[in-house]
Amino acid sequence: MCSIFGMFDLHPGDDLLALRQQALALSQRQRHRGPDWSGVYVAPEVILVHERLAIVDPASGSQPLRSRDGRLALAVNGEIYNHRELRAASDYDFTTGSDCEVINALYLAGDADLANKLNGIFAFALWDGESRRYMIARDPIGVCPLYWGHDAQGRLLVASELKSLSGICADVAEFPAGHIYDSASGELRQYYQRPWRDYAVVQGRPADRAALRQAFEQAVHRQLMTDVPYGVLLSGGLDSSLVAACAARFARERIEDDDRSEAWWPRLHSFAIGLEGSPDLAAAERAAQALGTVHHGFVYSFEEGLDALPEVIRHIETYDVTTIRASTPMYLLARRIKAMGVKMVLSGEGSDEIFGGYLYFHKAPSAEAFHEELVRKLDALHSYDCLRANKSMMAWGVEPRVPFLDREFMDVAMGFDAADKMAGGGRMEKAVLREAFEGALPDEILWRQKEQFSDGVGYGWIDGLKAHAEAQVSDREFAAAAARFPHNPPATKEAYYYRAVFEQFYPGPAAAATVPGGKSIACSSPAAIAWDPAFATAADPSGRAVQGVHLQASPA
């Protein structure tokens, strides 16, 4: 994973040398995402800059990727997990071993649905010098970030992170997940649309637990594609432990040659972080012992987290309370991981959105309401957990991969009736996933109660943040919050504090509008409020604040 920067629709007479220097300077703002190499492509109509984090084919996969005849230039942030299958089916004259070069092959084959053929996480900008055409696209869920906007001269700019466009584009906005833009038609089109979004399509379909398990194991296997040292994030909760269990199963063989040779790094390393005595550190240690990983548990102090907070907000580019709480320990963990020479990690994001893992799902009144809320959560995931995992890790040049969001796995996991996912009445959240993996983990891990990451690193973290914000934000300032921040006015002093820090780095209404309104948890969902009106009054997005559910939920 890397970063991309593009400048399109350049004008005749533009000073290309000056624009190249500007593009390089703006791209440098996101170079933490790709510290290994920088590549630039310049033509009279376009400039592409790529900051590379070399994961696959580090020797020859530098970008922008050019077709052999020089017609195409491609800058990609991401990984294409099915690139070998696509490569085998193509007669394109490949110039590198890069997984991303299959995008050029699909384009030249005239595949109008090329983005839909990719199983991976990606944001790309492709230039066709022969037809003077460009395409911009983002992966189905939005795991990889992407922003776009226009400069004062009307040129279209695109970048992996907001910081590269802030102060340059007055209309900066997030490029929507699952969409592709084609300059030939001027159309922004949603290419990713799955039948399972409609509950009527999946209604009555029973869950096949064996197929669910196989699909997830295959997703993890695909995503172990790497030519550099890697590891897994392990909190000791269900999701990260399942990822680690599957990765441990495949770690000894090299995925790139169909498991025929020994892996270059056969011992699986796992990583966790928390305050002294945190629930996650203890649970992660137990999980690591059960799985046989080489485990690294790191302790951080509240003061260290507080010191990092401004930089965290600058990197993750949001003022959402839950996201910032959870991003800070993840940011600190990424720095530790980077120091150990690891460049890629597998993580458990997406499971809660697919299986209804949040505690408020216990209140769902029907399978249809449950399913519709899952779809809503998946649609919003790019603004919260995907953003947190990607930007917190990539702040230090560590690539996070998320096998629960593998598109083939999602088709299986979202393709059966949500009646089999429902919790409550003594049935634990995500019971169908736990049942599918019986025997893969000790019961104390397989049936561990749900914790939000920001809770699991230590309850003192959230309580300390609230106290700090209370001391920093006066009653008078908070009373005038709506006047200072008319868009998404903060509802708590903690939210006000984060918003003020965000504004220092990203001033202006367009930047503020890139962050969704409301709170990122149950309380902000109209459906959840309908399930239980008490959610409407809960201002604190901690899992502990989901009234009554945390204590009532119990193993099946």
144 catalytic residue (yes or no)? no
Q: Is 274 labelled as part of a ligand binding site? A: no
Secondary structure of 346-374 as H, E, C letters: ECCCCHHHHHCCCHHHHHCCCHHHHHHHH
Q: Match 């399930």 to its residue by tokens.
A: 531
Dist CA 326 CA 317 (whole Å): 14
Given the residues 2, 100, 144, 246, select the one marked as catalytic. 2
CA 337 distance to own-chain centroid:
18
- Tell which residue, 376, 523, 320, 348, has the closest CA to residue 453: 348
Helix (H, G, I), strand (E, B) or coil at 446: helix
Q: Is 347 labelled as part of a ligand binding site? A: yes
Q: Is 280 labelled as part of a ligand binding site? A: no
Q: Is 415 labelled as part of a ligand binding site? A: no
* CB burial of residue 391 (10 Å; 0-12, 13-18, 19+): buried
Dist CA 355 CA 341 (whole Å): 34
Give the strands of the sheet with 37-43, arranged side by side. Answer: 37-43, 46-52, 3-8, 156-159, 147-150, 173-174
Dist CA 246 CA 249 (whole Å): 5
Q: Is 233 labelled as part of a ligand binding site? A: yes
Helix (H, G, I), strand (E, B) or coil at 470: helix
Dist CA 458 CA 443 (whole Å): 23
Helix (H, G, I), strand (E, B) or coil at 79: strand
Q: What is the DSSP letter of 175?
A: P
Biggest CA pair distance of the chain: 70
Cα angle at 42 between 133 and 140, to 5 degrees? Answer: 50
Q: Residue 444: how many CB atoms within 10 A of its CB?
A: 13
What phi and psi, each to the nearest 5 degrees, are found at residue 41?
Answer: -125, 130
Dist CA 48 CA 32 (whole Å): 17
| Start-end of H helices in 292-404 | 302-316, 321-339, 351-355, 367-380, 385-394
Residue 482 is encoded by which pair of tokens? 């709506």
How many CA within 13 A on the CB side of residue 179? 16
Beta strand spans in 147-239 (E): 147-150, 156-159, 173-174, 179-182, 187-190, 230-233
Question: 543-546, long-range: CB within 8 Å, 24+ apart, which pairs?
Answer: 543/358, 543/359, 543/450, 543/451, 543/452, 543/455, 544/455, 544/459, 546/358, 546/359, 546/360, 546/521, 546/522
**Which residues participate in catalysis according to the annotation?**
2
Residue list, annotated binding site for L-glutamine: 99
Residue list, annotated binding site: 99, 233, 273, 347-348
Residue list, annotated binding site for ATP: 233, 273, 347-348
